[in-house]
Structure 1
Amino acid sequence: MMTKALKTDRPPPGSVPAKNGHGAAVLVDGVDIRFGSFHAVRNISLDIAAGEFLCLLGPSGCGKSTLLSALAGFVRPHQGSLTVDGAQVGGPDPDLGMVFQSSEALFDWMTVRQNVTFGPRMRGASRAEQTKLADEYLGLVGLRHCADRFPSQLSGGMRQRVQIARVLANQPRVVLMDEPFGALDAQTRQVMQEEMARIWQTSGCTVVFVTHDIDEAILLGDRVAVMTAGPAAAIKSVYPIDLPRPRDESDPAALELRRALRDDIGEEVRKSLRDQGLDPQSASRPDLQEER
């Protein structure tokens, strides 16, 4: 049976794994974002359950990262509201952790341990608490043995794991991830995807994950929200992913979902090309429907 886009944005009962309750519910209600005369996103509404893993998927330039920045409190919506467990998002907050695509967000002059404990240290945590947090979250990402190294001494995948550990050490209730594995090679990316699924299930955080990669979204998400092409991008469709974990990419249901997502995104890519006066025929190629 083919997986269909839901008309509602609320996940069906039982679709989100039961965890330790640490995650927070996120409500995006009628959000418009403008930069001067440029209309980035329009009338976006999403109801994200506590502990859910939601993937945002769509063509390049559709406003996925802009929406994520608004959730993080870095961008103020022109209209609409963003709330976390009912509290308005008014700016950056320790409850909202952001993992960027580039590991350059790490402090090169600090050791791995110092990077991970930076947030708690700024909040006045004791040395003992800092040590405990570093050991816990470096252990969670499998890098406790690298605590005294510097970022330049680590591989790209290891640096991204340090960045995830640094965010989790602040014990956020919502983790926002902006294509965190986009710059990694294929093999490292696959390992990081598997690690991310494990880390999410262990931490219990709510995760909003921006990606261009359809397979990545199917592997990780409870649901996938597909955005239309920009400008003035909106939510085109929302797909539940009712597949057991760990996921098998060869599962017939996964393959059917992949085809549906490719069709949805391909339609938006072709529309974007037509709007630019370009030939949309090239967008029928699968490799162009999944822009990297």
Structure 2
Amino acid sequence: MGIRFGAFQAVADTSLDVAPGEFLCLLGPSGCGKSTVLSAIAGFEQASEGDVRVDGERVTAPRRDTGVVFQSTEALFDWMTIRDNVAYGPRMRGVAKARRAEIVQEYLNLVGLGHTADKYPSQLSGGMRQRAQIARVLANEPRLVLMDEPFGALDAQTREVMQRELDRIWRARRCTVVFVTHDIGEAILLADRVAVMSAGPSAGIKSVYDVDLPRPRDETSREFALLHQRLRDDISQEVRAALRAQGADVEEEL
């Protein structure tokens, strides 16, 4: 697959398979095209070369069976209660009111927000709003969930809690997840596999790592540290390449 914006080749010659129920992280330097790839999977962008397929069907527009969790904690409808935000998708799908109420309660409980159902987004913390956004996506029972640096706007402590919460939620539901991040530790904590992208322009998948560590993962373990170092070395090569392409005087090795 390739994605071009006019004469600019953002992504080139990229091929990647994601298995049903897998948690895959896309990792790479800033500006390498991670979010562009995610947008193509979501149907927001169209491939210029090749195509994107979900369950064998070509993606040409946003799909009802694909949910997207955005980076911003402001993605909820601020004029709706948390209950109504989570109920929005099922209501648009014509789910009966009684069943809709069951779905909302199930997913709010899953993300630990059952007590906030009648509050508005402005009354919640950033981490709580992001959990509500995850509940809103999961309430549609998507086969594929796409997450574009969903914890990037959170403080370090809240981000750590949210990473653990997402791991717990994913293990409870086992939907397919493609998660964009630039945080190596976050990728190892969450992913079954980590796909590293090369520096742009004309970025692509450089390497793929299996994360064969038991869940929940221990950041202090030797195995975690070794994989972190391997990924750091791999990403550092791409960061240096990106900086040199921008005219920076960067040494070949750190």
**Runs of 4+ with deviation above 2 angstroms:** 281-284
Structure 1 residue 89, shift from structure 2 partner: 1.2
| Separation in 1, partners of 2:51, 2:204 | 15
Structure 2 partner of 1:178: 148
| Separation in 1, partners of 2:64, 2:125 | 27
Structure 2 partner of 1:51: 21
Structure 1 partner of 2:107: 137
| Separation in 2, partners of 1:140, 1:94 | 22
C-alpha contact (below 8 Å) 1:269/1:283 kept by paired residues: no
SS state of the match for residue 81, structure 1? coil
Q: 1:136 to 1:233 in 2, by over 3 A?
A: same
Structure 1 residue 125, shift from structure 2 partner: 1.5
Deviations 1:9-57 (A, max 9, x none): xxxxxxxxxxxxxxxxxxxxxx100111111101111111110000000
1:75-114 pair list within 5 angstroms:
75-114=45-84
Structure 2 partner of 1:288: none
Count of aligned pairs between the two proteins: 254
Structure 1 residue 129, shift from structure 2 partner: 1.6
Larger fraction in strand: 1
1:197 matched to 2:167? The reply is yes
| Separation in 2, partners of 1:134, 1:282 | 53
Question: Among residues 160, 174, 188, which one is paired with 1:218 in the alignment?
Answer: 188
| Separation in 2, partners of 1:282, 1:105 | 41
Structure 1 residue 180, shift from structure 2 partner: 0.3
Normalising by the residue count of structure 1, what TM-score does the alignment of the two structures yield? 0.85
| Separation in 2, partners of 1:159, 1:282 | 42
| Separation in 1, partners of 2:165, 2:28 | 24
1:259 matched to 2:225? The reply is no
Structure 1 partner of 2:93: 123
| Separation in 1, partners of 2:41, 2:99 | 29
| Separation in 1, partners of 2:253, 2:166 | 31
| Separation in 2, partners of 1:119, 1:161 | 16
C-alpha contact (below 8 Å) 2:73/2:153 kept by paired residues: no
**Seq. identity, %:** 66
| Structure 1: 5+ residue stretches without partners | 1-30, 285-292
| Separation in 2, partners of 1:48, 1:180 | 20
Structure 1 residue 105, shift from structure 2 partner: 1.2
Deviations 1:94-129 (A, max 9, x none): 111000000211100000000001111112221112
Structure 1 residue 282, shift from structure 2 partner: 11
Deviations 1:208-237 (A, max 9, x none): 000010000000000000000001101110
Normalising by the residue count of structure 2, what TM-score does the alignment of the two structures yield? 0.98
Deviations 1:117-164 (A, max 9, x none): 111111222111210110010011000100000000000000000000
